[in-house]
Amino acid sequence: MTGVGKLIRLILRRDRVIMPIWVLVFGLLPAGYYSSFQGLFPTDAERIQYATVSADNAGFVALYGLLKGDSFAVLTNWRAGFVPVMIGLVALLTVIRHTRVDEEAGRTELIGSTVTGRHAPLAAALITTVGACTVLGLLTFAVMAGQSGSTSGSLAFGAELAASGWIFAAVAAITAQLTSSARAARSIAIVALGVSYALRVGGDISALGTGGLSWLSWVSPLGWVTRIFPYGPLNWWPVVLSVLLSVVAVGVAVYLRGLRDLGDGLFAARLGRASAAASLSTPLALAWRLHRGLLVGWTVGLGLLGLIFGGVGGSVLDIAQDNKGLTDIFARLGGSSQLVNSYFAGTAGIVGLIAACYAVQATLRLRDEETTGHAEAVLATSVSRFAWAGSHLLFSLLGPALALFAEGLVSGLVSTSGNFGDILGGVLLQLPAVWVLASVAVLLFGVLPRWSLVAWAAPAACLLILLVGETLQLSQWLLDLSPFTHIPHLPGGDFSATPVITLIAVAVVVGAVGLVGLRRRNIPD
């Protein structure tokens, strides 16, 4: 364990910009929700009505979790129900970045040759990440205690956010031991986060209806933390469970680290073929080899999401039938007149955003290929830059289409309410917006290659606009920045070809500029 202090300082130095940003943004976001709710609902009656409606809305419950109560503090905590997912994501990325990424790049070896213990890098990564999440929680505690006046509730709220970070930091500590590739370690950890989110959604939606599957939430760490209900029926058990899980997971990670050598994964690599199959002879065949894992993973993942979203669609109808007033209220809240339609239109937007993340990830594979030197090897053969980029882009454009199709197909098939064609259509309609985000990544890669990773800011901004846009009453031009704002809301809304064609045109132009930039620039840059 010697050298941990030095490594911690190194991590803090390397993350000196990004870490304070996420700690501040996520730590202060609840306070932002609180004041915007105060602005939105000047009277008690309005606030209580909003709470009543939201508590039964399956789409809202899917996104944010169960709502128990109607005070400003309760609403704030509920509205921040997606924040634990984001914190979990950041925490796992941070841990992998400072463990397996370094190890794969050989930096750990460099450090290991100075005086550091075998467990020091893992310990340093965990201490900084867990520390940052704790600071984040304390920040939320401080500002919420001031705003809500409830000390114990705000402490629990802070613990909720901090614990989601602790758990996924610990999960990442395990996955970082499993494979020798950082990308695989990251993917496994993200899948764990996704499964845990999906389980929570399933359990919570079920709790809205008959409750037969509500235990699903209790198998998911994200389900635990959203069941603390800091300002409602406060329950500290999930915090205890989270701490226990984190400690056990860290123990497992340390044990696994002890079993393996530096640079290795636990899953040993096997021998493969001595010569290439006859089909592996074009840039497209190579792109298929490099993208097929992503394609299968995202398609199956979105298909599963379709199972949840579609399955929930039925209970939306039940709720609507139970509550005659609901339909009117939703019409007034700006949704479509039909509850089921508005639910599916809403989930289509979420699914579109998720598919956009896939599109950006697949596009940025080009940059990975460049920085690793693979591009240089391929482009020194008689493959043109367009053929090389084009074969990757085929997957970043059509891959999300397939994944969206899987989601729409499954949710349309399992849904007992709503029209199959409309549901599938509403999901596929997200594609032009997805392509716009992919084209932004192409533009950066072609013109400002060193800034390629900034392409992630686009889906992040769209998510932020989706999450806080209406609550914070952002002005329209800000909302309009997200291509998803322009997609016709189907089913239920009016279809219009103009925005679809415009978005496709934007994607084509932006992408073309990127490709021209790629043709003219140095490789590698």
Partner 1 sequence: MTEAIEAEGLIKRFGKVSALDGLDLSVETGEVHGFLGPNGAGKTTTIRILLGLMRHDGGKVSLLGGDPWSSATALHRRLAYVPGDVTLWPNLTGGEVIDLLGRLRGGLDPSRKDELLERFQLDPRKKGRTYSKGNRQKVALVAALASDVELLVLDEPTSGLDPLMEEVFREVILQEKRRGDRTVLLSSHILAEVEALCDRLTIIREGRTVETGTLDQMRHLTRTSIQAELTGPPDGLATMAGVHDLRTDNGKVRFDVDTDALEPALQTLVKVGVRSLVSQPPSLEELFLRQYQKDELPKAELPKAELPKDVR
Name the nearest CA neighbour of 498 among 507, 489, 487. Answer: 487
Residue from 245, 383, 414, 460 binding partner 1 (CB under 8 A): 383
Of 281 and 321, CB closest to partner 1: 281
Among residues 89, 176, 190, 379, the one that binds partner 1 under rule CB under 8 A: 379
Asked if residue 388 lies in contact with residue 521, where contact means CB atoms within 8 angstroms, the answer is no
- Measure the CA–CA gap between 521 and 518, rounded to whole angstroms: 5
Least distance between partner 1 and beta carbon 377 (Å): 6
Q: Is 17 in the site for partner 1 (CB under 8 A)?
A: no
Closer to partner 1 by Cβ: residue 233 or 263: 263
Q: Give me the least distance between CB of 293 and partner 1, in Å please.
A: 8
Binding mask 491-520 for partner 1 (x = CB under 8 A): -----------------------------x
Q: How far is the CB of 273 from partner 1 (least distance, A)?
A: 6
Distance in angstroms (rounded) separating the CA atoms of residues 210 and 227:
18
Q: Using CB under 8 A, pick the residue from 127, 195, 378, 457 that binds partner 1.
A: 378
Q: Within 345-374, which residues bind partner 1 (CB under 8 A)? A: 372-374
Q: Smallest Cα–Cα separation from 429: which of 410, 460, 404, 411?
A: 404
Residues between 264 and 293 with contacts to partner 1, criterion CB under 8 A: 269-276, 280-283, 286, 289-290
Cα–Cα distance measured from residue 316 to residue 294, given in angstroms and rounded to the nearest whole number? 32
For 203-230, b/e burial (b = at least 16 CB within 10 A) is bbbbbbbeeebbebbeebbbbbbbbbbb
What single-letter DSSP state applies at residue 267? S
Q: How far is the CB of 90 from partner 1 (least distance, A)?
A: 26
Least Å distance, CB 369 to partner 1, is: 9
Report the nearest approach of partner 1 to the CB of residue 478 (Å): 35
CB of 522 to partner 1, least distance (A): 4
319 close to 419: Cβ distance less than 8 angstroms: no
CB of 168 to partner 1, least distance (A): 25
**Cα dihedral angle (201, 206, 207, 210), rounded to 10 degrees?**
180
Measured CA angle at 122 (ends 118, 127), to 5 deg: 130
Q: Which of 222, 76, 86 is nearest to 153 (CA)?
A: 76
**Residues in 290-319 at the binding interface with partner 1, rule: CB under 8 A:** 290
Which one, of 315, 360, 313, 327, lies nearest residue 483 by Cα? 360
Query: Residue 33 has which token pair?
Result: 């929700």
Binding mask 431-470 for partner 1 (x = CB under 8 A): ----------------------------------------
Nearest residue (CB) to partner 1, 114 versus 522: 522
Shorter beta-carbon distance to partner 1: residue 391 or 482: 391
Backbone angles phi, psi at 251, to 5 degrees: -60, -45
Q: What is the DSSP string of 195-209?
A: HHHHHHHHHHHHHHT
Site for partner 1 in 174-193 (CB under 8 A): 180-181
Which amino acid belongs to residue 45?
A
The footprint of partner 1 on residues 243-262 (CB under 8 A) is: none
Q: By the criterion CB under 8 A, which residues form the site for partner 1?
A: 180-181, 269-276, 280-283, 286, 289-290, 372-374, 376-384, 520, 522-524
